[in-house]
Amino acid sequence: MIARKTWREVRGMTIAYFLILEALIASAILYWPEIAENLPQLGALKNMLPGEFMKRMFQGIMDSGFPAYVTVQQFFKGINIAGIACAVLIGTGSISGERENGTLDMLLSRPISRSRILFHKWWVLALCVMVPVYLSSATIPWMELWIDPKTIENRCSFGGLMHASWRASLFCLFFLTLTMLFSVFLREQVKVAFAIGGIIVLQVGMFFVQVLRHYSIFRLSDYDVYWPMMIGNRDFARTFWGEDIWLIVAIGALYGATWWRFRKMDL
């Protein structure tokens, strides 16, 4: 019952989120032939780019072509923007939205525990954030057929796309759970959005400052992370036990704090 109610509330946003991801990657792929044609001339711009990581992205596109370009467009740009935005948007209203609308007391009056209420809301929202990432990435091989095959020397590996999607979706889930934590502590949605927005702005700002990049959480969703996954240089087990497991632990800790607060909070 809780799961169905939650899905009805966010299904429109979930579909819109998927369509935004599709529009972003489709427009990028359709633009690739023009970029590929002018890539040699664009090489002179590399040294003008700020930051070593941006130079590496540009050099990766020059060396590896289409797969590196898709890595930047789908994962570094598209999901880091649209995915996190969706996670924050639906997470903001998860609890504080119910409180503002006056439906939280009705929700808690149901003959089920608060723990189950929170869990059923969380897993539905988690799927709404994560599944569109996989679906959008799965359409990329089909979109490759839209453009001149002569402009694509190497195609994207489906396994690589799914591996990168796993990390990207996990990263979005982290922000969803963090937003839900703020949603149970703060009574108004605007305050939740302001708090999460401040954290994201701070972390993005640190990411683009060379001496501070190491301390930004966005290092976990960087081109340097996704590109080895895309070309199969980092197997799933290695990345899972090396970095993913810590993201999962962090998500678990955030969910635990959310659960603790939700069980004790007043209306």
- Burial classification of residue 52, based on how many CB atoms lie within 10 Å of its CB (0-12 exposed, 13-18 middle, 19 or more buried): exposed
**The pLDDT of residue 108:** 78
Q: Which of 13, 20, 217, 267 lies closest to 125 in space, CA to CA?
A: 13
**The pLDDT of residue 48:** 67
Tell me how far apart the alpha carbons of residues 112 and 178 are, in angstroms, rounded to a whole number.
24
User: What does the block give as tokens for 160?
Assistant: 């690589």
Amino acid at the residue 213: R
- The Cβ-side half-sphere exposure at 107, using a 13 Å CA radius, reads 25
**The pLDDT of residue 62:** 85
Q: Which residue has the tokens 């690589």?
A: 160
Largest CA distance in the chain: 67
Each residue's pLDDT tens digit, 77-125: 999 999 999 999 999 988 888 888 877 778 777 788 889 999 999 999 9
**The pLDDT of residue 211:** 86
**pTM recorded for the entire structure:** 0.93
Q: What's the distance, Cα to Cα, between the start and end of the chain in Å?
A: 21
Within 109-244, residue ranges assigned H as helices are 114-138, 140-143, 158-185, 189-207, 223-230, 236-239
Domain range annotation of the chain: 2-264
Using the CB atoms, write b or e for 214-229: b if 16+ within 10 Å.
eebbbbbbbbebbbbb
Helix 245-264 × helix 114-138 angle, to 10°? 150
**The pLDDT of residue 267:** 57
Tell me how far apart the alpha carbons of residues 133 and 128 are, in angstroms, rounded to a whole number.
9
Tens-digit pLDDT string for the chain (267 aa): 788 888 999 999 999 999 999 999 999 999 999 988 887 777 667 666 777 777 888 888 888 889 999 999 999 999 999 999 999 999 998 888 888 887 777 877 778 888 999 999 999 999 999 999 999 999 999 999 999 888 898 899 999 999 999 999 999 999 999 999 999 999 889 999 999 999 999 999 999 888 898 899 999 999 999 999 999 888 898 889 988 999 999 999 999 999 999 988 775
